Structure 1
Amino acid sequence: MSNKGIHSKLLILFSLLLTLLFVYTAVGKLIDLDTFQWRLARMPYISSFTSLISWGLPFLELVIAGLLWLPRYQIIALYGSLFLLASFTLYIALVLRYSDSIPCSCGGVISALGWTDHILLNVFFMTLSLLGILWSKKRYNIETH
């Protein structure tokens, strides 16, 4: 099997894993929206944006999950995944470094993770996004030349 075939199958796997992550987290937030908003309101630095984040974040997660399956927009979704995960990881790092209170706004299984585990999980998914971007660009360059 060529690298192109392997990369294509891995890109499908990465898209599936990212979709599962984003749909799971978005649905969890929307199902228990009151709790998610309450937790966001307690978060340092972003509490004044609770309403915007509580609706915008799940919407963005679902949009990214959907775009991952549209070949024309897949690379945009991979960039969106990387940006969203990197932003959240940076936020966690800043809160851990500069804040005394660190409430978790996560739900479900992810809320059972400690902060270090949460960062490692995000780094894992950022790596999938980055590899997906690189392989998508490589595939695009091969197809256009």
Structure 2
Amino acid sequence: MYSKLITLFSLLLTILFMYTAVSKLNHLDLFQWRLERMPYISSYASLISWAVPFLELVIAGLLWFPKYRTMSLYASLILLGSFTTYIIVVLKYSESIPCSCGGVISALRWKDHVILNISFMVLSLLGILWSKKQNNIQINQNTVQ
């Protein structure tokens, strides 16, 4: 059962990361311009505009290799957690909050972004926990035999 849920979570995370990465790369100039307007990170806009979609694509790909799945679930959790923390800080301490998202996700309000990200963070965390549980079960079965 855990295996099927982990695969489902990997699929959902892959869809999220592929969609957001392709959206950013299709409109890279616009994405970078929006990042330049964001509080606290504007001086890193050029680096972020390439690094984030690259990381999203790498994570999406690694989710499909069993050897790297747990690591990529951790990476998903960290990337989503970083973005969510940033959103919360900006909402709390900044006066101007332009959206740097593209596609359908850009239609979400900031609080909706937080809810969406937390939902995917929960999927990542459950995937990590269940992967570890599944690995422990397999190890115990191998030692008993």
Give how far 1:143 is off: 1.2
What letter corresponds to residue 8 of structure 1 in structure 2? Answer: S
Name the CA distance, whole Å, in 2 between partners of 1:68 and 1:101: 35
The RMSD of aligned alpha carbons is 0.5
Unaligned stretches of 5+ in structure 2? 141-145
What letter corresponds to residue 108 of structure 1 in structure 2? Answer: G
1:104-135: per-residue Cα shift (whole Å, max 9, x none)? Answer: 00000000000111100001100000000000
Identity of aligned residues (%): 71
Name the CA distance, whole Å, in 2 between partners of 1:27 and 1:97: 29
1:45 and 2:40 matched: yes
Q: Alignment partner for residue 110 of structure 2, among 102, 107, 115?
A: 115
In structure 2, the partner of 1:23 is 18
Taking structure 1 as the reference length, what is the TM-score of the superposition? 0.95
In structure 2, the partner of 1:3 is none
Name the CA distance, whole Å, in 1 between partners of 2:49 and 2:107: 20
Name the CA distance, whole Å, in 1 between partners of 2:53 and 2:111: 23
Q: Secondary structure at the match of 2:51?
A: helix
In structure 1, the partner of 2:98 is 103
1:2-60: per-residue Cα shift (whole Å, max 9, x none)? Answer: xxxx2111111100000000000000000000000000000000000011100000000
Taking structure 2 as the reference length, what is the TM-score of the superposition? 0.95
Aligned length in residues: 140
Q: Alignment partner for residue 53 of structure 2, among 55, 58, 61?
A: 58
What letter corresponds to residue 26 of structure 2 in structure 1? Answer: I
1:57-83: per-residue Cα shift (whole Å, max 9, x none)? Answer: 000000000000000000000000000
In structure 2, the partner of 1:79 is 74
In structure 2, the partner of 1:135 is 130
Unaligned stretches of 5+ in structure 1? 1-5
In structure 1, the partner of 2:9 is 14
Task: Write out the 4+ residue segments of structure 1 that deviate beyond 4 Å after TM superposition.
Answer: none
What letter corresponds to residue 29 of structure 1 in structure 2? Answer: K
Give how far 1:142 is off: 1.1
